[in-house]
């Protein structure tokens, strides 16, 4: 019985370690955090994406701010995820779509296709009227003024304060 348990535990450990294998083409990653505030007020649920300043990447790098306005940026590739991103200089995009109260999934399913379309259109109109905590242009890598350089042994932290940013990009 003891041998069987040991073998079972070894198999579980091997299976779990196999699920965490970093793909070969993802380089070493380093911790990277980004904070988003409006003045001294943290902004939660901001979706952040980073992209290389030069060239592209075969993996994605993103995170979402928590209630303290802090996001841990993670690298993802082929089902694998790791906290951090490879060394380099990155453009930073931020987005947060205003939310409006919604009906439950069960109520939505009871609507006809035509009613669902009407409901979706009404919800979109309501969202468009709400003020945005994050200016919409910050979701565009070209228009966003934010960037971060990540290096081994560094803090790799970016503080983004949207207070005072224009609602539309400067021309």
What are the pLDDT digits (tens) for 29-38? 999 999 999 9
Whether residue 120 is found in the same domain as residue 57 = no
Whether residue 161 is found in the same domain as residue 138 = yes
Whether residue 50 is found in the same domain as residue 64 = yes
Asked, for residue 114, whether it belongs to a domain, the answer is yes
Residues of the domain holding 150: 27-96+133-171
Contacts of 42 (CB under 8 A, 6+ apart): 35, 36, 65, 67, 68, 69, 70
Q: Is the pLDDT of residue 156 over 50?
A: yes
Alpha helix stretches (DSSP H) within 20-148: 105-110, 113-129
Whether residue 112 is found in the same domain as residue 68 = no
What integer pLDDT is reported at residue 20 of this predicted model? 59
Q: Is the pLDDT of residue 25 over 70?
A: yes
Q: Is the pLDDT of residue 27 over 60?
A: yes
Q: Is the pLDDT of residue 3 over 80?
A: no
**Which among 43, 79, 86, 78 is positioned nearest to 61, based on CA atoms?**
86
**Which among 129, 123, 127, 135 is positioned nearest to 46, based on CA atoms?**
135
By DSSP bridging, strand 33-38 and strand 157-161 are: parallel
pLDDT one-digit tens code per residue, 88-138: 999 999 999 999 999 999 999 999 999 999 999 999 999 989 989 999 999
Whether residue 31 is found in the same domain as residue 85 = yes
pTM of the model: 0.78
Higher pLDDT, 47 or 3: 47
Please give the tally of structural domains in the chain. Answer: 2
Asked, for residue 11, whether it belongs to a domain, the answer is no
pLDDT one-digit tens code per residue, 45-84: 999 999 998 777 788 999 999 999 999 999 998 889 999 9
Whether residue 158 is found in the same domain as residue 114 = no
CATH number at residue 153: 2.60.40.10
Q: Is the pLDDT of residue 155 over 80?
A: yes
Whether residue 138 is found in the same domain as residue 124 = no
Indicate the SS3 state at residue 83.
strand
Tokens of 44: 């939660």
What integer pLDDT is reported at residue 8 of this predicted model? 38
What integer pLDDT is reported at residue 26 of this predicted model? 79
Asked, for residue 10, whether it belongs to a domain, the answer is no
Partner residues linked to 80 by β-bridges: 77
Whether residue 118 is found in the same domain as residue 42 = no
Whether residue 149 is found in the same domain as residue 107 = no
Whether residue 74 is found in the same domain as residue 38 = yes
Alpha helix stretches (DSSP H) within 33-162: 105-110, 113-129
Cβ atoms of 92 and 40 within 8 Å: the answer is no
Q: Is the pLDDT of residue 17 over 60?
A: no
């Amino acid at each position: 019985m003891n041998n069987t348990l040991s073998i079972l535990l070894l198999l579980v450990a091997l299976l779990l370690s196999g699920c965490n294998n970093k793909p070969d083409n993802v380089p070493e990653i380093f911790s990277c955090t980004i904070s988003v505030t409006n003045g001294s007020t943290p902004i939660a649920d901001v979706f952040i994406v980073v992209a290389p300043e030069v060239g592209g990447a075969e993996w994605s790098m993103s995170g979402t701010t928590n209630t303290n306005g802090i996001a841990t940026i993670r690298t993802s590739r082929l089902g694998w995820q790791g906290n951090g991103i490879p060394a380099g200089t990155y453009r930073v995009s931020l987005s947060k779509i205003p939310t409006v109260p919604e009906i439950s999934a069960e109520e939505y399913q009871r609507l006809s296709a035509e009613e669902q379309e009407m409901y979706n259109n009404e919800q979109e109109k309501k969202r468009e009227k709400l003020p945005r905590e994050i200016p919409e242009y910050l979701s565009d890598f070209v228009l966003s003024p934010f960037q971060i350089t990540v290096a081994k042994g560094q803090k790799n932290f970016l503080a983004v304060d949207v207070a005072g940013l224009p609602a539309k990009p400067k021309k």
